[in-house]
């Protein structure tokens, strides 16, 4: 099982969430660590994940409550009846020597303010995410993986956010325009349907012409038979 499939199964499936896309990242700049901080957990892999909950699958999240001051999830030992937001961005880590994944910070999609692609003129793996109370500078494992993440993130923002959508800056046109993988898939389906419809219409036209020719031949044969009968009767007389 791939890392992303495992993240989807371990982190999101238990909460009835669908992971839409994930990108493996590293920090572009080192994060400042307090002088007194000790006991680090060693090396780790980081993933930025976009997930959503379908409206028909919205359920009560038991034992999880969002702490807006730290953007972390904590377990208060109580049940919250707050309706969960439909889409969110989650930071997931896998520490060295461990096969499991750990949910770290999570932001509601409404908290995303800006997505910066850094350079619109080349395939760059670098990008920034600006939230209401956080700012991170990342480098994706590949430029292609970043592009896929941006395409699906942009599509999801258009779908789930009605009022305030995040600003996408310094992004390549293929991310924002009709060349995204989502639009391409839809265009392919539409094209296939149009071609099939055209083929059926052409076939119908050919069948129609064949029917017309058959009818003309039938009428000609009938007229020939009537004329032959008249001539035969005339010679009898």
89-138 pLDDT per residue, tens: 999 999 999 999 999 999 999 999 999 999 999 999 999 999 999 999 99
**Measured between alpha carbons, how far is residue 85 from residues 9, 89, 111, 156, 221 in Å?**
20, 11, 11, 13, 76
Q: What is the pLDDT of residue 31?
A: 61
Residue numbers of the chain with a pLDDT score lower than 50: 35-39, 59-84, 178-187, 189
What is the pLDDT, as a whole number, of residue 36? 45
**What pLDDT does residue 65 have?**
44
* Strands (E) located in 79-177: 87-95, 102-108, 112-116, 126-131, 135-140, 167-169
Task: State the angle between helix axes of 143-160 and 181-236 in degrees (0 to 180), rounded to the nearest 10.
Answer: 80
pLDDT of res. 40 = 54
165: helix, strand or coil: coil
Nearest to 138 by CA among 115, 167, 122: 115
Q: Which pLDDT score, from 0 to 100, does residue 237 have?
A: 57
The predicted pLDDT at position 1 comes to 81
Contact, 18 vs 108, CB < 8 A? no
What is the CB neighbour count within 10 angstroms for residue 22?
24
**Given this model, what pLDDT does residue 135 score?**
94
Give the pLDDT confidence of 68-83 residue by residue, as tens digits.
333 344 343 333 344 4
What are the Cα distances from residue 195, in Å, to 178, 180, 192, 198? 20, 22, 5, 5
Using CA atoms, how far apart are residues 142 and 210, in angstroms rounded to an integer? 58
What is residue 78's predicted lDDT score, i.e. its pLDDT? 37
pLDDT score at 33:
53
């Amino acid at each position: 099982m791939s890392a992303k499939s495992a993240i989807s199964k371990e982190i999101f499936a238990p909460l009835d969430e669908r992971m839409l896309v994930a990108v493996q990242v590293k920090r572009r700049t080192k994060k400042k660590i307090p002088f007194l901080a000790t006991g680090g957990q060693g090396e780790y892999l980081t993933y930025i994940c976009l997930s959503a909950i379908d409206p028909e699958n919205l359920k009560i999240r038991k034992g999880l409550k969002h702490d807006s001051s730290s953007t972390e999830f904590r377990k208060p030992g109580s049940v919250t009846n707050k309706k969960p937001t439909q889409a969110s961005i989650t930071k997931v880590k896998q520490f060295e020597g461990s096969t499991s994944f750990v949910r770290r910070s999570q932001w509601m999609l409404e908290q995303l303010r800006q997505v910066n692609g850094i350079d619109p003129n080349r395939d760059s793996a670098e990008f920034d995410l600006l939230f209401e109370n956080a700012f991170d500078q990342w480098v994706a494992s590949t430029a292609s993986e970043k592009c896929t993440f941006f395409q699906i993130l942009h599509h999801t923002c258009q779908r789930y956010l009605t009022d305030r959508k995040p600003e996408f800056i310094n992004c390549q046109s293929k991310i924002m325009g009709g060349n995204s993988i989502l639009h391409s898939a839809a265009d392919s389906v539409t094209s296939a349907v149009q071609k099939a419809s055209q083929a059926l219409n052409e076939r119908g036209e050919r069948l129609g012409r064949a029917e017309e020719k058959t009818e003309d031949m039938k009428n000609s044969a009938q007229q020939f038979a009537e004329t032959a009968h008249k001539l035969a009767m005339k010679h009898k007389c």
